[in-house]
Amino acid sequence: MKLFLLTSLTMLAFAANSVLTRFALADHSIGPAAFAMIRVGSGAGMLAVLVFWKERRIADLSEVSWLSVLGLSLYMLGFSYAYISLETGIGALILFGGVQITMFAGALITGERPSRWRWIGAAVAMAGLIYLLQPSARAPDTKGAVLMGVAAVGWGYYSLYGRKIRKPLQATAGNFLLAFPLALLVGLTFGDARSPALTGVALAIISGAITSGLGYALWYRVLPKLDATLAAVAQLTVPMIALAGGVLFLNEALTLQFAIASALILGGIGLSMIR
């Protein structure tokens, strides 16, 4: 039960990131480059303070690799730029659909053998994603979808790497600290056309310090207890949570297409839990 609650709390944090990012960018209170820089920087700051309070140092780099830093950076930057043109729920669904593919591939390469029901559940959930992306009047923007696909690969690898982490808080702090210079470089090179407003800065700080920094440290804590394929399928609950947030806070429409896709994804998750 504790693992279920911690995993559910992590999924809420992931969904909150989608809502906060989309709200900030849709409101034009901040650009994607500034949002990514502030998000990574505030996450690094929050985690460094917590690690210093616990161990009297700002990070432990012993469990950090450049690939994990690159994965986190690709996710953070692709995520921010994609949400310029994608709605909250659709962006989250593309992200975590891509994460599922990445993590299943990684699990198979490392020798994990998912059960028959896990495969069936994953196939049903993926059918929901494919249905959502069928051409329609509300089909997602192509550039935004590609950018979110890049973010998905980055986050999928970052999650796979986290399954072998023994010190989740310290490792997450190290990843954020080393990802910040890259986010800063991209932000300064491809700067936004407008200066960020106070609202956008505040949303980026909340996303970075709370729902990203603390949320990702919690994710690294639960990942070693989950099969890679189950962790991948579980993350497909995030789009439904994000959709609810988009409808409640951003006045985004709840379409029949999305409702059907969501039902397929939730059904697939349920099937994947059968042993």
Domain edges within the chain = 2-113+142-228+240-252
pLDDT greater at residue 70 or residue 89: 70
Q: Is the pLDDT of residue 78 over 90?
A: yes
pLDDT, one tens digit per residue, over 114-126 is 888 888 988 888 7
Instruction: Write down the residue that tokens 């329609």 correspond to.
Output: 136
Residue 133 predicted with pLDDT over 80: no
- Residue-wise burial string across 120-154, b where 16 or more C-beta atoms lie within 10 A, e elsewhere: ebbebbbebbeebbeeeeeebbeebbebbbbbbbb
N- to C-terminal Cα separation, the chain: 17
Q: Mean pLDDT throughout 217-238? A: 86
**For the residues 62-75, what does the mean pLDDT come to?**
93
pLDDT score for 275 = 67
pLDDT confidence tier of residue 137, bands split at 50, 70 and 90? very low
pLDDT beyond 70 at 247: yes
pLDDT, mean of residues 151-178 = 92
Residue-wise pLDDT tens digits, 200-223: 999 999 999 999 999 999 999 999
Q: What is the C-alpha separation between 118 and 46, in angstroms, rounded?
A: 37
- CA 155, CA 76: separation in Å to the nearest integer? 9
% of the chain exceeding 70 in pLDDT = 96
